[in-house]
């Protein structure tokens, strides 16, 4: 089912995948429609909701001429985004999750920036916590002449908000030229993979301190609270995709900067994996063999080394502060990681 919007040139397509979000869907849609110019469109793609979300969506187009609604069987958020991309007509596209909100006045500030003729625009995010507290993730105002210059800066600072697809404007002609779509069936990180592929095909990039969205924490449920099979294997795949993207694009970094970037990102992924075991003991048995092999190699004397390092129980070394220090020391020596580019267990971007 599709209800069409008006005709004419479309500057921006806002794609909103929806799934069982009736309770806060109006809040999301109103945050966009209240500031949406006539030459922009919203494409809401319902992914087989069974809570009345689809029915609520179907009542909207009659009063909002630049809103289109797509109804489809449940296949996941990536498939819904892909359906939105196939229907989009804007020169640029952006994405918004159905439980988040566009910042008031954002489009008035950001749409004139399209005259800069960049291929990618990156904006800030405000995270609203369950407690009512707020966190602001920002990027500095900057213009990068090409993806190589952007990659050089990212390798050095690793904080340019590259992970999410909900804080960016993408030039749609590049998406279509490269045949880009979100990978379906991926447990997490599909937005990152999309962004890495897009970066390889784009030219000028603009970063802006303007806050684009309010990322609302609706419940305690998140990626960190659910079991993810083969987590470390997937984390390593994302690490490889990330380093391949930025190291292949970079033209102005030194070998030392590139080494610190790659090793620091690997250390961060290992730290995140170890930190998950407190809440997900089942993931420990699944992932520790791969972690041990990567960090220490196939060393038969590993248990002896751990005991000599003062870790009394090698079975739980990764849960202790001593174990953290030991493994980080080994990463630093084996990977020659200086520690300057990132802290243990912290993700370098969002």
pLDDT in tens, 182-226: 999 888 999 999 999 999 999 999 999 999 999 988 765 556 568
Q: Which long-range contacts (CB under 8 A, 24 or more apart) does 239-244 make?
A: 239/265, 239/266, 239/269, 241/192, 241/193, 241/196, 242/192, 242/196, 244/196
> Is residue 199 domain-shared with residue 264, that is, in the same domain?
no
For residue 281, name the pLDDT band (cuts at 50, 70, 90): confident
> Is residue 84 domain-shared with residue 169, that is, in the same domain?
yes
CATH number, residue 199 = 3.90.550.10
Residue 343 is assigned to a structural domain of this protein: no
> Is residue 80 domain-shared with residue 63, that is, in the same domain?
yes
Contact assessment for residue 190 and residue 111, using Cβ atoms and an 8 Å cutoff: no
Q: Among residues 193, 219, 245, which one ends one of the domains?
A: 219
Give per-residue pLDDT as tens, 296-314: 665 556 667 666 766 666 5
> Is residue 69 domain-shared with residue 215, that is, in the same domain?
yes
> Is residue 303 domain-shared with residue 196, that is, in the same domain?
no
Show the CA angle centred on residue 189, arms to residues 188 and 193, nearest 5°.
145
> Is residue 100 domain-shared with residue 170, that is, in the same domain?
yes
Share of the chain above pLDDT 90, in %: 62
pTM, to two decimals: 0.85
> Is residue 159 domain-shared with residue 19, that is, in the same domain?
yes
| Structural domain range at position 133 | 10-219
pLDDT at 107 over 50: yes
> Is residue 31 domain-shared with residue 173, that is, in the same domain?
yes
């Amino acid at each position: 089912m599709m209800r069409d919007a008006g005709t004419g040139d479309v500057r921006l397509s806002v794609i909103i995948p929806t799934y069982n979000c009736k309770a806060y869907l109006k809040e999301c849609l109103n945050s966009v429609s209240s500031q949406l110019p006539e030459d922009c469109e919203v494409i809401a793609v319902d992914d087989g909701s069974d809570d009345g979300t689809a029915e609520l969506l179907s009542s909207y187009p009659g009063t909002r001429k630049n809103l289109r609604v797509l109804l489809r069987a449940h296949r996941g958020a990536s498939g819904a985004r892909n359906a939105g991309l196939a229907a989009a007509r804007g020169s640029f596209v952006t994405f918004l999750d159905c439980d988040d909100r566009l910042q008031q006045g954002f489009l008035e500030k950001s749409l004139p920036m399209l005259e800069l003729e960049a291929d990618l625009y990156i904006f800030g995010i405000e995270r609203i916590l369950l407690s009512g507290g707020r966190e602001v993730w920002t990027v500095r105002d900057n213009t990068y002449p090409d993806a190589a210059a952007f990659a050089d800066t990212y390798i050095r600072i690793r904080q340019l908000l590259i992970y999410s697809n909900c804080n960016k404007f993408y030039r749609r002609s590049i998406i279509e030229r490269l045949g880009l779509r979100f990978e379906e069936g991926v447990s997490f990180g599909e937005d990152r993979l999309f962004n890495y592929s897009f970066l390889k095909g784009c030219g000028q990039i603009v970063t802006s301190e303007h806050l684009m969205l309010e990322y609302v924490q609706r419940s305690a449920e998140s990626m960190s609270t659910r079991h993810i099979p083969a987590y470390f294997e997937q984390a390593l795949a994302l690490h490889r995709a990330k380093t391949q993207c930025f190291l292949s694009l970079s033209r102005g970094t030194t070998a030392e900067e590139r080494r610190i970037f790659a090793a620091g990102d690997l250390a961060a992924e290992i730290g995140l994996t170890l930190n998950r075991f407190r809440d997900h003991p089942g993931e420990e048995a699944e992932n520790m063999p791969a972690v041990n092999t990567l960090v220490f190699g196939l060393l038969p004397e590993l248990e002896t080394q751990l005991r000599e390092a003062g870790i009394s129980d090698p079975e739980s070394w990764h849960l202790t502060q001593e174990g953290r220090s030991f493994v980080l020391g080994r990463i630093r020596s084996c990977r020659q990681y200086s520690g300057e580019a990132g802290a243990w267990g912290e993700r370098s971007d969002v």
